[in-house]
Amino acid sequence: DYINWTSHVFEAKYVSGEIRPHDTEEIREARFIDKKDIEHFNETMLKLNIGGFRYRVFLTENTLKQLERKHNENR
């Protein structure tokens, strides 16, 4: 089976205000986390061995690599 899927990832700068989801049907909460939290979430998702979670880990890890590369180039 194949599902046509597009994920959008973007970088933003926090300015002010409360962090909260607008779509509460799909998103329960929003909060700031650091890289260690992301690594922990990724480990948990990989242990569950679900295709969608593996995809999310792949997307997250590659996004972090791109952001790190971008920030290193701008130094």
Is pLDDT of 16 > 90? yes
- What is the model's pLDDT at position 3? 80
In the chain, where the domains are located: 35-73
Cβ neighbours for 28, distance < 8 A, ≥ 6 positions apart: 21
Whole-structure pTM value: 0.68
Alpha-carbon distance of 40 to 52, in angstroms, equals 17
Distance CA 32, CA 26 (A): 18
Q: Distance between CA 10 and CA 15 in Å, rounded?
A: 16
49-71 pLDDT, tens digit each: 999 999 999 999 999 999 899 98
pLDDT of residue 10: 75
User: pLDDT (tens digit, 9 = 90+) per residue, 18-42?
Assistant: 988 899 998 888 888 888 899 999 9
pLDDT of 54 reads 95
Rounded CA-CA distance 59/10 in Å is 12
